[in-house]
Amino acid sequence: MIINKWLTASHHKNTPQTIRKKLRGILILLVSITACTTAENLLPKLTGNILINAPTTATAGSDIEVSVGPLNVANGTPIGLVMVGVRGPKVYNTVFTNGEAHFRIPSTDTYQPGYVALIVASENARGEASIIVFSPRRRNIHNSIMMAMNTSIPFDS
């Protein structure tokens, strides 16, 4: 309605040239508004499951690297990681950069052997993984058991 009154104002001549100028002004305004809108805001929101890249085993007292992605997500989108272990929950936060997020769980949080559950969340998406943290001595025993299980001895029938 306002645009219609502006286009048909009585103090302006409604020649094709003046109407074109007014429409050109409206078009420039719309283009500038669209240009100021970042493409990152147009990306869809994260939903569903997030795949966590984490080791299945780790040695107690060592850093653990955990990554998420690559995903179609805007740079700067926050993501949180909750690690639930023997000593209770620990919370870590970071943001996505180029579709990936990286966490480093410090050795001070992994000194206790046991089962560790990892849960990540960003927007409406969630992911889960687990890690078994072995003591350095038990890690060697675990590796020996795994190698023995992979070695098969044929039996005579």
Tell me: the pLDDT tens digits for 101-148? 999 999 999 989 999 999 999 999 999 999 999 988 755 555 555 554
- Structure tokens of 115? 């089962």
pTM assigned to the model: 0.61
pLDDT at 45: 84
User: Which residue from 85, 77, 81, 88 is spatially nearest to 121, judged by alpha carbons?
Assistant: 81
> In the chain, what are the domain boundaries?
2-37, 47-140
Domain 47-140 has CATH 2.10.70.10: no
- 26 pLDDT exceeds 50? yes
Average pLDDT over residues 1-9: 55
- 53 pLDDT exceeds 90? yes
- The answer to whether 124 and 157 have CB atoms below 8 angstroms apart is no
**Angle in degrees, CA 14, 16, 20, rounded to 5:** 105
pLDDT at 136: 80
